[in-house]
Amino acid sequence: MKKIIKSTTLADRLLFLFLTVVSISGIFYAREALPQGNDVIIEINGKPAYSLPLDINRSVSVNGPYGVTEIEILDRKVRIREAHCPNRICVKEGWVSRGIIVCLPNRIVVIVGGGNERHRDIDAITG
Amino acid sequence: MKRLPALFIFILWLFFGFSCTADKPSMYKKSKALMDTFVTITVVAETPEKADKAIESAFSAISRFSNLIDFFSETSEITVINNNAGIRPVKVSSQTLDLIEKAIEAAEKSHGAFDPTIGPVIQLWDFHKGIKPPDNEIRRKLPLVDYRNIIVDRNASTAFLVKKGMMIDLGGIAKGYAADLASEELRQNGISSGLVAIAGDIRAFGTKPDGMPWKIGVKNPRQTNEKDEIIARLSLTDSAVSTSGDYERYFMQDNKRYHHLLNPKTGYPENNFRSVSIITGKGVHTDSYATAVFILGPEKGMHFIEQSGIDALIIDNSGRIITTQGIKGKVQLEENN
């Protein structure tokens, strides 16, 4: 091993360093550049609890102060199917294909399809 | 070989240095669930620490305000006012009183097209289950809807609902007001450019780090897929925008769309437009005026816009986009719409 290192020139070592830095920085840049709009993120008490693909139909049960909240993913849409919070605003929200469903009493936030590549230059959406 | 560490640092600087140069203003964004929705605050700041402190301070201001006016909370000042309707005036904080006064102002200006006492009628409708209330039920509750029966006493700091059963629901104005409040809080924390988005109620001040205005997408009221979510883009600096649309909470029955924008005089939805976006200086105005213009309809609504000196982007029932003169050049329509 030492022999191999000794046989390298300064240019070789610099090239090695250069490639290492490119690889590491690539991770950070790719995270920014790639679309991330195909996930459903479920946060409980402000902390991410689940990250689920939007294209696989399933149901998830989450426990909260008002009992079990049922979150359903179907045909690339998400809804809170059942919740036992006082006003059930989250259930009334219905199906969401992109955006947020919030259940404040149960401290649950469902984030659907975050980054749409087409709208990366938009700072916010009204409507 | 001794120069190798220096070269290594130089290469690192090449990759990370440009984006991390100290004191160069950058955009920082943070979101939090507040007011039964998602609040996103974006600021331009020199350091992440400064941005974080300002954003957290703005979130706290929204949270404190929300606790005062939450219609669904058993302990909010609004609930206490509603529980004492027809009984006695209730002493409230200056912030709650200020918002009630602003709501009454919007109601007066729009001749009741926006009315914060619509609560008893709204409660009859269940847009999730798609239940249209019986006509006689709506008629029975309508006499409770009248902003002129809110009595505000500035000196005593009280609010009183004259008739028993009346309810104030500030949901049609509170988010815009909160966006103003948060913007002020950011400014007090040394932020000169920022964007507060409380669901669709947005307040912008200053510009982005490159000096460009903030870009706001206007939601397509008849979205069919992910690609046509946005119908237009607005360029905003130092102003607010809010949108009221017939697509937020609605159900279809007998080929008719029943949505949550109810006419306070009839108790039924108005189908004048698909959506109304209002652009003016403050969120408290955009929020309430968007509803008012939607209810007023094409003729009275346009008159209201002209009289108030505000700007609007309206999508009518045929899908036509109408914009006022003041925002010409600041609107970019999407190609696929």
Q: Which tens digit of pLDDT belongs to each residue from B8-30?
A: 666 555 555 554 445 689 999 98
Smallest CA–CA distance from B214 into chain A, residue: A123
Q: What is the pLDDT of residues B101-154, one digit of tens each?
A: 999 999 999 999 999 999 999 999 988 888 899 999 999 999 999 999 999 999
Q: How far apart are CA B315 and CA B317, in angstroms?
A: 7
Interface of B with A in 110-129 (CB under 8 A): 126-128
Among A81-95, B11-25, B164-178, which range has the highest average pLDDT?
A: B164-178
Q: What is the pLDDT of residue A97?
A: 83
Mean pLDDT of B163-190: 97
Is residue B91 very low, low, confident or very high in pLDDT (cuts 50, 70, 90)? very high
Q: How many C-beta atoms surround the C-beta of residue B20 within 10 A?
A: 10
Which of A91, A51, A89 lies closest to A70, judged by CA?
A: A91
Interface touch B221/A10, C-beta < 8 Å = no
Report the range of poorest mean pLDDT among A9-23, B67-81, B218-232.
A9-23
Q: What is the pLDDT of residue A60?
A: 87
Q: Are A77 and A97 in contact (CB under 8 A)?
A: yes
pTM for this structure? 0.77
End-to-end CA distance of chain A: 63
Q: How far apart are CA B299 and CA A66, in angstroms?
A: 48
Token digits for B220?
Answer: 């397509």
Query: Which of residues B254 and B96 earns the better pLDDT score?
Result: B96
DSSP-assigned states of every residue in B206-269: S--TTSPPEEEEEEPTT--SGGGSEEEEEEESSEEEEEEETTSSEEEETTEEEES-B-TTTSSB
Average pLDDT, chain B: 92
Is residue A30 very low, low, confident or very high in pLDDT (cuts 50, 70, 90)? very low
Mean pLDDT of B35-51: 93
Q: Give chain A as a 3 state SS string.
A: CHHHHHHCCHHHHHHHHHHHHHHHHHHHHHHHHCCCCCEEEEEECCEEEEEEECCCCEEEEEEECCEEEEEEEECCEEEEEECCCCCCHHHHCCCECCEEEEECCCCEEEEECCCCHHHCCCCEEEC
Token digits for B24?
Answer: 């160069």
Which of A74, A62, A114, A69 lies closest to A91, judged by CA?
A: A69
The residue to which tokens 């700072």 are assigned: A123
Interface touch A125/B128, C-beta < 8 Å = no
pLDDT at B39 over 50: yes
Q: What is the pLDDT of residue A100?
A: 82
**3-class DSSP state for residue B301?**
helix
**Residue from the list B40, B229, B249 with its beta carbon closest to the beta carbon of A98:** B229
β-pair type (B214-219, A124-126): parallel
Chain B CB contacts of A30 below 8 Å: none
**3-class DSSP state for residue B81?**
helix
Mean pLDDT of B316-329: 95
Q: What is the pLDDT of residue A89?
A: 85
Q: How many C-beta atoms surround the C-beta of residue B229 within 10 A?
A: 21
Burial B184-218 (b: 16+ CB within 10 A, else e): ebbbebebebbbbbbbbbbbbbbbbeeeebbbbbb
Kind and range of the H or E run holding B321: strand B321-323
- With a pLDDT cut of 90, the percent of chain B lying above it is 82
Kind and range of the H or E run holding B162: none
Query: Which of residues A2 and B92 earns the better pLDDT score?
Result: B92
What ipTM was predicted for this assembly? 0.88
Token digits for B85?
Answer: 């309707």
pLDDT at A22 over 80: no
B228 touches A at CB < 8 Å: no
For Cα atoms B166, B168, B172, give the angle at the middle one, nearest 5 degrees.
140
pLDDT at A33 over 60: no
Which amino acid, one-letter code, is at B72?
Answer: F
**Residue from the list B37, B216, B220 with its beta carbon closest to the beta carbon of A124:** B216
CB within 8 Å of B320: residues ≥ 6 apart: none
